[in-house]
Structure 1
Amino acid sequence: METVRGLLDSWVLVGAWATLAAACVAVLLRDLAHRNPEIAGMMKYVWVFTVAYSGPLGLWLYWKTGRKQIRRDSVWRRGARSVAHCYSGCGLGEITGIVITVGLLSLGNWWVVSTTFALAYVAGFALTVGPLMQEGVGLGEALRDAFYSETASITVMEIVALSVDLVLAGSATMAEPLFWASLIVSLTAGLAAAYPVNVLLIRWGVKEGMHDPREMARAA
Structure 2
Amino acid sequence: MQVDVLVERLERALDPAREALVPVLSDPVVMGAWAVVVAASVAVLLWDLRERNRALPSLMKAVWTLTVLYSGPFGLVVYWYAGRTQIPRDSLWRRGFRSTAHCYSGCGAGEVTGVLLAQGLLGLAVGWVAAATFGFAYLFGFSLTVGPLLQEGVGLREAVADAFYSETPSITVMEVTAIGTDLLLAADAHVGDLLFWGALAFSLSVGYLAAYPVNAALVRAGVKEGMKNPAEMG
TM-score range, shorter chain: over 0.9
State the match for 2:184 in structure 1: 167
Structure 1, unpaired ranges of 5+: none
Residue-by-residue CA offset, 1:173-214 (whole Å, 9 max, x unaligned): 111111111001100000000001000001111111110001
Most deviating of 130-139 and 41-50: 130-139
State the match for 1:65 in structure 2: 82
Q: Distance in 2 between matches of 1:186 and 1:71?
A: 32
- Quick one: which of 118, 125, 128 aligns to 2:145? 128
Name the count of aligned residue pairs.
Answer: 217
> What's the % identity of the aligned pairs?
58
1:112 partner amino acid: V
Residue-by-residue CA offset, 1:117-164 (whole Å, 9 max, x unaligned): 111111101111111111101111111110010000000000000110
Q: Distance in 2 between matches of 1:21 and 1:3?
A: 22
1:170 Cα deviation from its structure 2 partner: 2.8
Query: Does 2:58 align with 1:14?
Result: no
Q: Distance in 1 between matches of 2:215 and 2:145?
A: 14
Q: Distance in 2 between matches of 1:146 and 1:182?
A: 29
Query: Does 2:225 align with 1:202?
Result: no
Contact kept, 8 Å, 1:157 with 1:193, in 2: the verdict is yes
Structure 2, unpaired ranges of 5+: 1-17
Q: Distance in 2 between matches of 1:84 and 1:125?
A: 14
State the match for 1:115 in structure 2: 132
TM-score, length of structure 2 as denominator length:
0.91
Query: Does 2:50 align with 1:33?
Result: yes
Superposition pairs of residues 67-216 of structure 1, within 5 angstroms: 67-216=84-233
Q: Distance in 1 between matches of 2:20 and 2:165?
A: 41
Q: Distance in 1 between matches of 2:70 and 2:203?
A: 10
Q: Distance in 2 between matches of 1:170 and 1:207?
A: 34
Aligned to 1:73, the other structure's residue is in SS state coil
TM-score, length of structure 1 as denominator length:
0.96
Contact kept, 8 Å, 2:114 with 2:129, in 1: the verdict is yes
1:2 Cα deviation from its structure 2 partner: 2.6
Contact kept, 8 Å, 2:88 with 2:231, in 1: the verdict is no
